[in-house]
Chains A and B, each alone.
Chain A
Amino acid sequence: DQQVKQNSPSLSVQEGRISILNCDYTNSMFDYFLWYKKYPAEGPTFLISISSIKDKNEDGRFTVFLNKSAKHLSLHIVPSQPGDSAVYFCAAFGQGGSNYKLTFGKGTLLTVNP
C-alpha cells in the first residue's frame, strides 16, 4: 500500500520556467512532509519541509504547498535551472516522529532543459 504517491515518474521543463512536482498521501496520521533531491550516484539530500499546521513554506527558489483537505502537496521551483535536474522524492512522517521513520514516494525525475 503506497501511502505516499508521486504519480508522475518524470517531468521536463525549460530553463527559467516553473517546475511543479506533485505528491499525494493517504495516511491521515502524517503531519510533517519533506522533499529530498537525489543526483545519480549520490545519496538524497534534504531540500525543504512543511508542517501540517502550515500551508506554505518558502526557501529561495523552492516553495512547498500543502493542501491537507486534499492530502496533496506540491513543490514549486522558480525559476528552474539545469542544475535542478535530479530525482525528487516526497516524504512524510507522523506521530510526532515517534517511529523515527520516513515514508517516501517513488520519486519524480525532473529534467530542466537549457
Chain B
Amino acid sequence: KAGVTQTPRYLIKTRGQQVTLSCSPISGHRSVSWYQQTPGQGLQFLFEYFSETQRNKGNFPGRFSGRQFSNSRSEMNVSTLELGDSALYLCASSRPGTGFTGELFFGEGSRLTVL
C-alpha cells in the first residue's frame, strides 16, 4: 500500500513569491492534515481537511491556505513568502473510522527554503 506522497520534496523560493505544495494521502484515507516543522518550534499544526472541508486551522497568518479535492488529495499554498517560512512541511493522513485517534501517517515532507 503506497504511503503518503508529497511533492515537491525540495524547493527554493525567494521572498515575496508564492508556493504550492501537494499531498496525496494513503488510499482510502479521507482526512489530511498539514504541519510545519522548524528547528526552533517543532511540529506546528497548520490545518486539517476532511471531505473537502477544513475542520480546523492552526495559528498561522492568512498567507497560509489549503484545500482538499474530491479524491482526498490536498494542496497548501503560502503566498508572499518570508524568510521565516523556511521549514519542512509535513502532510499526514489518517484512517477512516470513528473519531480522531491521533495516529497520523506522515509523508516525507516538502523542504522549503526561502532566500
Contact = CB atoms under 8 A, between A and B. Distances in A.
Interface of A: 32, 34, 41-46, 49, 89, 91, 93, 96-107
A104 B102 CA distance: 11
A43 B109 contact: yes
A46 B24 CA distance: 19
Contacts of B63: none
B106 A99 contact: no
Contacts of B102: 32, 34, 49, 91, 93, 97, 102
A58 to B, nearest CB: 17
Contact of B48 (A32, A34, A49, A101): A101
Contacts of B76: none
Interface in B36-89: 40-45, 48, 50, 55-56, 58
Contact of A43 (B45, B100, B101, B107): B107
Interface residues on B, range: 20 to 34
Given A34-B103, A46-B104, A104 B55 contact: no
Interface of B: 4, 31, 33, 35, 40-45, 48, 50, 55-56, 58, 90, 92, 99-109
B45 A97 contact: no
Contact of A93 (B4, B41, B100): B100
Given A34-B102, A93-B100, A106 B41 contact: yes
B54 to A, nearest CB: 10
A101 B103 contact: no
20 contacts: A34-B102, A43-B106, A43-B109, A44-B43, A44-B90, A44-B106, A46-B105, A93-B102, A97-B102, A100-B50, A100-B55, A101-B33, A101-B48, A102-B35, A102-B102, A102-B104, A104-B43, A104-B44, A105-B42, A106-B42
